[in-house]
């Protein structure tokens, strides 16, 4: 009797309040785990080196491991969700996060810590693309043409704007509980997210019985492997800078060409090259989002190094100075997302990047430290505008049947931007951190921001899209 009563009640809830807090909470919580884990580890690297008895330089591989795993896993998780169902992949990802947190918390050596970070990277990467599919499914069930902007905005706040939150949180956690806590903290969060998902997100439909060969074809296993190999080679080349191993770049180029040739023939391509060629607006979304994130992460990591090395602030204090990026980003995303705007926000994001980059030129050892806060506010606004605008653009331009993979690719381009920022700061601060190095970074960011602004203003599809939205409203 109770099941008969609960089913109509659940159906009524989906129709009347399709995006209630019960439905969105696990999606937002899961999506926040990846960016927070990306920056959370930064404050624990020195204690980890002392704890497991390794040189501090080797701990950088823990940062690299999550980036590499996430860059490959984001679109892969989206493709898997399209085949097996988004809720199943979401739950699998949460379990992987819990396993990674447990393995890392109990680790006694670097290899085990690397396994942990890969598991966390793979698991947290499942959240965002599956959340996009679950939101689209719920919107269709409720008869909506597009989900409420506030829901997409909340997902973007959780998935992007929380990146800088990991620094102050990590400083407090490591200072109070030790470095193992940055791994163990994933366990309670994963348990909460798992319980909320099982209770409040409706199950996927029945799983179709497929043979191993059919699964491989549906997933495009060869395409995924080729993409992973090409992306890993590219990211390793970037991470090794300023030492340029050109042969690694050459290997990456060969692998990209081979993967593209395969995808052009694949029945169900993982990386739909024809789609990207036929929809240049979607490709432009990826490229510009990657450029925005490049600037954001240069500030997040490069300016943080300068604050600590030149200005003498602790890691916790420097993390607090950058906290406005998260707060302002979230404040900006919320109202902009509700209106489902694209052109205005992405132009504002580019201009804010340009203004903030020029402002970095004012930083030196004698400048007012409050200027750092002002700059993080500017870059936080840029992050908010970009997060709202590009996610709405993605939802508009990506085919509904490929939204999972398309969403994952957006995050992958964001990770390429973040890794490129790491390469830039590594080259500039190769020997030591100085005011001159910060100014050189500022000029590089100004150049990137000028390219971003020019590409954004020249994109005619943004005008067409804004006109169409005006007519609909």
- Tell me the mean pLDDT per 10 residues along the chain, length 473: 42 63 90 82 80 79 82 86 91 96 94 94 91 88 79 76 70 84 93 93 82 80 88 81 85 93 86 81 90 87 80 76 80 80 90 95 89 91 88 82 82 82 78 86 94 91 53 38
Closest listed residue to residue 155, CA positions, set 410, 367, 362, 374: 410
- pLDDT score, position 93: 95
Residue among 183, 472, 212, 433 nearest 339 (CA): 472
pLDDT for the residue 468: 40
Q: How many CB atoms lie within 10 A of CB 56?
A: 11
Angle between helices 60-84 and 403-428 (to 10 degrees): 170
What residue ranges of the chain are covered by domains with CATH 1.20.1250.20?
18-206, 272-473
Domain 272-473: which CATH number of 1.25.40.340, 2.60.40.2240, 1.20.1250.20, 3.40.50.10140:
1.20.1250.20
Report d(CA 272, CA 268) in Å as an integer.
8
Residue 399 zone, left/alpha/beta (φ > 0; ψ -120 to 50; rest): beta
As a whole number of angstroms, the distance between CA 206 and CA 266 comes to 26
* Residue 374 main-chain phi, psi, to 5 deg: -60, -45
User: SS3 sequence, 262-330?
Assistant: HHHHCCCCCCCHHHHHHCHHHHHHHHHHHHHHHHHHHHHHHHHHHHHHCCCCCHHHHHHHCHHHHHHHH
* pLDDT value of position 457: 92
Q: What is the pLDDT of residue 383?
A: 87
pTM for the model: 0.78
Name which of 157, 156, 132 is nearest 82 in CA terms. 132
Query: What kind of architecture, by CATH, is found in domain 18-206?
Result: Up-down Bundle (1.20)
Q: Cα(350)–Cα(292) distance, rounded to whole angstroms? A: 7
């Amino acid at each position: 009797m109770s099941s008969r009563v609960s089913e109509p009640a659940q159906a009524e809830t989906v129709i009347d309040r399709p995006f209630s807090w019960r439905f969105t909470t696990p999606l937002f919580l899961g999506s926040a785990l990846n960016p927070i884990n990306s920056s959370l580890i930064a404050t624990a690297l020195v204690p980890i080196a002392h704890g497991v008895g390794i040189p501090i330089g080797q701990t950088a591989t823990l940062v690299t491991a999550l980036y590499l795993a996430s860059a490959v896993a984001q679109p892969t998780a989206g493709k898997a969700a399209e085949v097996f169902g988004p809720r199943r992949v979401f739950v699998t990802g949460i379990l992987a996060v819990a396993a990674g947190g447990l393995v890392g918390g109990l680790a006694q050596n670097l290899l085990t810590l690397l396994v942990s970070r890969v598991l966390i990277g793979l698991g947290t990467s499942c959240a965002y693309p599956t959340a996009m599919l679950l939101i689209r499914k719920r919107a269709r069930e409720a008869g909506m043409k597009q989900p409420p902007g506030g829901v997409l905005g909340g997902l973007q706040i959780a998935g992007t704007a929380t990146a800088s939150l990991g620094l102050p949180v990590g400083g407090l956690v490591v200072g109070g509980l030790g470095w193992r806590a940055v791994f163990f903290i994933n366990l309670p969060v994963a348990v909460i997210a798992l319980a909320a998902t099982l209770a409040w997100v409706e199950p996927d439909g029945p799983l179709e019985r497929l043979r191993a060969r059919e699964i491989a074809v549906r997933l495009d296993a060869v395409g995924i492997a080729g993409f992973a190999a090409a992306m890993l080679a590219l990211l390793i080349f970037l991470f090794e800078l300023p030492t340029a191993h050109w042969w690694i770049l050459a290997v990456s180029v060969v692998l990209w060409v081979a993967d593209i040739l395969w995808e052009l023939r694949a029945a169900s391509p993982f990386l739909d090259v024809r789609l990207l060629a036929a929809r240049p607006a979607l490709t432009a979304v990826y490229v510009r989002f990657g450029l925005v994130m490049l600037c954001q992460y240069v500030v997040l990591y490069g300016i943080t190094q300068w604050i600590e090395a030149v200005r003498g602030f602790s890691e916790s204090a420097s993390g607090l100075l950058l906290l406005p990026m998260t707060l302002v980003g979230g404040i900006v995303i919320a109202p902009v997302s509700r209106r489902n705007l694209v052109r205005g926000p992405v132009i504002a994001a580019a201009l804010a990047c340009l203004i903030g980059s020029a402002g970095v030129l004012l930083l030196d050892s004698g400048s007012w430290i409050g200027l750092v806060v002002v700059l993080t506010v500017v870059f936080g606004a840029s992050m908010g505008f970009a997060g709202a605008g590009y996610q709405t653009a993605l939802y508009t331009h990506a085919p509904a049947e490929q939204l999972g993979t398309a969403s994952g690719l957006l995050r992958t381009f964001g990770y390429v931007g973040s890794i490129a920022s790491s390469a830039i700061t590594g080259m500039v601060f190769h020997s030591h951190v100085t005011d001159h190095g910060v100014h050189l970074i500022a000029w590089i960011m100004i150049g990137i921001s000028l390219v971003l602004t020019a590409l954004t203003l020249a994109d005619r599809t943004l005008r067409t899209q804004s006109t169409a939205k005006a007519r609909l409203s």
